[in-house]
């Protein structure tokens, strides 16, 4: 079966991987050819330092907090636990600009926290700068890290916890024997993944960073491109950015575990090592604080957003249609690339195609956008192709996550039904139709929903290409915030949340319907 399965995906997988590599390498070559001039100045090196420092702090705090939250969720059983674990995926698919608006409503100068501080006579806190960027990144990546660690806890056989209970081992011994070995396996991958994500984050730095001391490489590329139209400096910064992010992504390729966003099939049952009022209080406090940290910004967006819905300009609905169109095209491109590449990787067990897929994580959207602007500009007005280019780049950015979701499902389906398919003499299309798609429908739907939700809320390449008359909903929302039309921005944010979660729900629902039938 292994050889027949290779024929299913080998040619198409190579073609898809070649297309991904060609798109990214063409952009890279374009920026390399344009990267000339006096070189990098002190401000550019400061941007590099800030980029690495904020990514290091963000990943360390996200992983550190996630360990305590995942352990509390693994040790406790309470009403709504499954719903909370499911909702932990919401911040990851939540549009960045919406979450930033919610964080500003809670932690900003006129936010809820400063209102409380004012009541007790304390000076207000500022959310801008390094601490604001790190706060936003922890908000987005804490749930992702928690899911990875929960997956690790669920991988520990339940029999080992029961044996520990029979031996009456105290909690520190259980942690040393069972939990710490798992953490040593999962933590490096989680750190590497979140570090790479934070290296290439743009919208957070755009809204909460800025200034000489809080500029990332992504933001410096945008400023050189959009404000100064200095393509040479933007290209030089892009080369520096992909060098740093590429090295981190190459490390992540080997140590990041497969992503699993489900609630988990294995339930170890009661944890006798977690008995006692002190531990119960600790776990309850951790869960309550995490729930408040994740839920308050969403509530702060939803409440004023309901009032702002009635005063939305027509441009918001046009931008919403543009965002849906970009999301639909991104899903189509992602599936066209991810399915054959996942089939190739699953049958060959080669890291080459997955390494190519990770280029979308290493190469920032702004680098790809800058490169293709340089390539397109002599022939076509780049603004006229802003939406298709945005959809393509969004698909490439989601491709690494899609592959991590699809590959385990493909491997499981082929290992269970591969030999039977070969014995029945099924051809390539028949194996795809009767084996892979039905057995992997849930993973395909989830990957499509994740891609669509991320694309709906993306504020990246469109910020480079769009003209004043053409915008997606995240870009229009950013413009409304810049014009201090906060009520309209809140209404647009609520629409954006509905679109992102709606696209994800529709695709995931399709994947779950009649799955494995």
pLDDT in tens, 208-248: 876 667 788 888 888 877 777 777 777 788 778 878 877 77
pLDDT band at 426; cut points 50, 70, 90: low
Average pLDDT over residues 321-334: 92
d(CA 199, CA 384): 29
- Check pLDDT > 80 for residue 140: yes
pLDDT at res. 357? 63
pLDDT at res. 446? 84
Q: Which of 128, 114, 108 is nearest to 54 (CA)?
A: 128
Average pLDDT over residues 116-141: 83
User: Mean pLDDT across the chain, nearest whole number?
Assistant: 78
Tokens 């406090």: give the residue: 285
d(CA 219, CA 222): 5
Average pLDDT over residues 123-143: 85
Beta carbons of 370 and 464 less than 8 angstroms apart: yes
pLDDT band at 2; cut points 50, 70, 90: very low
Q: Which of 274, 67, 70 is nearest to 170 (CA)?
A: 274
Map out the domains of the chain with their CATH numbers. Answer: 1-33+312-517 (1.10.3720.10), 47-303 (1.10.3720.10)
Which residue did the predictor score with more confidence, 218 or 433? 218
pLDDT at res. 60? 93
d(CA 31, CA 16): 23
Which 3 state secondary structure label does DSSP give 505? Answer: helix
- Check pLDDT > 60 for residue 499: yes
pLDDT at res. 265? 42
> Which residues neighbour 187 within 8 Å (Cβ) at sequence distance 6 or greater?
63, 67, 149
Q: What angle is formed at CA 476 by the lines to CA 472 and CA 481, rounded to 5 degrees?
A: 150
pLDDT band at 275; cut points 50, 70, 90: low
Phi, psi of 26, deg, nearest 5: -60, -40
Q: Which of 173, 174, 146 is nearest to 67 (CA)?
A: 146
Distance of CA 38 to the CA centre of its chain: 35
d(CA 157, CA 272): 15
d(CA 270, CA 267): 9
Average pLDDT over residues 77-95: 74
Please tell me what DSSP assigns to residue 309: G
pLDDT band at 37; cut points 50, 70, 90: low
63-67, 153-157, 349-353: range with lowest mean pLDDT: 349-353
- Phi/psi class of residue 380: alpha, beta or left (left: φ > 0; alpha: ψ in -120 to 50)? beta
pLDDT in tens, 443-484: 888 889 889 988 888 877 777 777 766 778 888 888 888 777
Q: What is the pTM of this model?
A: 0.78
pLDDT in tens, 329-385: 999 999 999 888 888 777 765 556 566 766 666 677 777 887 888 888 888 777 777
Which two structure tokens, joined as six digits, stand for 8? Answer: 């299913």
pLDDT band at 9; cut points 50, 70, 90: low
d(CA 460, CA 203): 7
> Which residues neighbour 100 within 8 Å (Cβ) at sequence distance 6 or greater?
136, 203, 204, 207, 208
Average pLDDT over residues 431-445: 77
Q: What angle is formed at CA 356 by the lines to CA 354 and CA 358, rounded to 5 degrees?
A: 70
pLDDT at res. 39? 67
pLDDT at res. 1? 40
Beta carbons of 331 and 396 less than 8 angstroms apart: no
Tokens 């190579």: give the residue: 14
Which 3 state secondary structure label does DSSP give 478? Answer: helix
Tokens 């299309």: give the residue: 429
Q: Which contacts (CB < 8 Å, 24+ apart) does range 152-155 have?
A: 152/70, 152/182, 152/183, 152/185, 152/186, 152/257, 153/70, 153/71, 153/74, 153/179, 153/182, 154/74, 154/264, 154/265, 154/266, 154/268, 155/182, 155/266
Which two structure tokens, joined as six digits, stand for 61? Answer: 């705090």
Tokens 């209404």: give the residue: 491
Range among 152-156, 199-203, 248-252 rated most confident: 199-203
């Amino acid at each position: 079966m292994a050889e027949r399965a290779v024929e299913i995906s080998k040619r198409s997988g190579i073609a898809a991987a070649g297309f991904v590599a060609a798109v990214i390498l063409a952009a890279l070559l374009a920026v390399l050819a344009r990267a000339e001039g006096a070189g990098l100045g002190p401000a550019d090196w400061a941007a590099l330092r800030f980029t690495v420092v904020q990514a290091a702090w963000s990943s360390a705090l996200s992983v550190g907090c996630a360990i305590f939250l995942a352990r509390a969720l693994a040790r406790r059983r309470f009403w709504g636990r499954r719903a909370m674990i499911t909702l932990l995926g919401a911040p990851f698919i939540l549009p960045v600009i919406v979450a930033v608006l919610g964080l500003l409503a809670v932690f900003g100068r006129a936010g809820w926290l400063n209102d409380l501080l004012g009541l007790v006579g304390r000076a207000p806190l500022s959310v801008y700068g390094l601490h604001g960027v790190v706060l936003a990144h922890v908000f987005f990546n804490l749930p992702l890290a928690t899911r990875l660690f929960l997956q690790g806890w669920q991988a520990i056989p339940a029999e080992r916890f029961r044996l520990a209970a029979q031996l009456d081992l105290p909690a520190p011994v259980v942690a040393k024997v069972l939990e710490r070995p798992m953490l040593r396996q999962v933590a490096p991958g989680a750190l590497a993944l979140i570090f790479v994500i934070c290296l290439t984050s743009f919208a957070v730095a755009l809204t909460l960073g800025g200034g000489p001391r809080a500029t990332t490489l992504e933001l410096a590329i945008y400023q050189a491109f959009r404000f100064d139209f200095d393509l040479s400096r933007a290209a030089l910064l892009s080369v520096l950015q992909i060098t740093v992010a590429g090295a981190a992504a190459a490390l992540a390729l080997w140590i990041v575990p497969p992503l699993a966003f489900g609630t988990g099939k294995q339930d170890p049952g009661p944890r006798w090592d977690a008995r006692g009022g002190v531990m119960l209080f600790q776990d309850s406090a951790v869960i309550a604080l995490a729930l408040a940290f994740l839920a308050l910004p969403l509530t702060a967006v939803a409440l004023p957003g309901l009032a702002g819905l009635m005063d939305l300009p027509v441009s918001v609905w046009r931008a919403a249609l543009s965002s849906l169109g970009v999301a639909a095209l991104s899903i189509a491109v992602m599936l066209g690339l991810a399915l054959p590449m996942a089939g190739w990787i699953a049958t060959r067990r080669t890291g080459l195609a997955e390494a190519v897929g990770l280029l979308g994580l290493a190469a920032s959207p702004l680098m790809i956008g800058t490169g293709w602007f340089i390539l397109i500009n002599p022939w076509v007005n780049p603004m006229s192709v802003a939406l298709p280019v945005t959809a393509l780049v969004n698909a490439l950015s989601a491709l690494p996550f899609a592959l991590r979701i699809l590959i385990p499902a493909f491997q499981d389906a082929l290992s269970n039904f591969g030999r039977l398919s070969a014995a029945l003499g099924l051809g390539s299309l028949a194996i795809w139709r009767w084996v892979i798609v039905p057995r992997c429908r849930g993973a395909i739907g989830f990957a499509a929903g994740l891609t669509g939700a991320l694309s709906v809320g993306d504020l990246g390449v469109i910020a480079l290409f769009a003209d004043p008359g053409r915008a997606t909903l995240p870009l229009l929302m950013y413009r409304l915030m810049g014009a201090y039309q906060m009520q309209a921005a809140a209404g647009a944010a609520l629409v954006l949340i509905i679109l992102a979660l709606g696209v994800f729900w529709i695709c995931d629902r399709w994947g779950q319907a009649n799955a494995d039938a």
